[in-house]
Amino acid sequence: MEKKGEHIILIGFMGAGKTTLGKKLARRLELEFVDTDEMVESQTGQTISDIFARKGEAYFRSLETDMLRQLGQREKRCVVAVGGGLPMQAENRPLLKELGTVIFLETGVETLVQRLKNDTKRPKLQGGDLRERIVTLMNEREAVYRRVADVCVSTDNRSYGSILEEMISKTEK
């Protein structure tokens, strides 16, 4: 089996706080922060919405896998936030595991609806009823998130400070 890497990887639904908490965690641990969505956008020079619209979701998913492979080559330890749909590609799961400790940020549907109600940038949430979209996707995804994760941390109704403490105590031995 491959040696497990030392990065910290945050997974979870859109709006779970992967980017916000990832940045805070990185600052606290004095590590770099990397976001696969940002990598895709900077390397293609296109927004995620444009990539979905012009080339389709399957192409976007292949770019996400490329980003994970690039991160696997990275020596310097970092905190990585990955797109909410990335763990759903079976080939990405062993890549995530090899990168390091995977934290699933758990968030309830009501919190997500509130956080995502004005979103225009996430193609998976546009059109139709937002709550229904979230519930349908969550039903497909939650078990996978749990299976991939080494650690689960709930984010509902909690301060950033308390979530950070839990993430640190569960990852830093």
User: Applying CB under 6 A, which part among 69-77, 80-88, 127-135, 158-166 lies near ligand S3P?
Assistant: 80-88
Residues 150 and 7: beta-carbon distance below 8 Å: no
**For residue 166, which of 81, 100, 105, 87 has the smallest C-alpha distance?**
105
User: Applying CB under 6 A, which part among 1-9, 25-33, 83-91, 149-157 lies near ligand S3P?
Assistant: 83-91
Binding mask 35-74 for ligand S3P (x = CB under 6 A): --x----------x--------------------------
Q: Does 7 bind ligand S3P (CB under 6 A)?
A: no
Q: Does 22 bind ligand S3P (CB under 6 A)?
A: no
CB of 62: closest distance to ligand S3P in angstroms?
13
Q: At what angle do helices 57-72 and 36-44 cross, to 10 degrees?
A: 110
**For residue 91, which of 59, 71, 61 has the smallest C-alpha distance?**
61
Q: Does 87 bind ligand S3P (CB under 6 A)?
A: no
Sheet strands (E) in 24-164: 32-35, 78-81, 100-106, 151-154
What phi and psi values does residue 90 have, to the nearest 5 degrees?
A: -55, -35
Instruction: Give the interface with ligand S3P as residue ranges (CB under 6 A).
Output: 14, 18, 37, 48, 83-85, 122-124
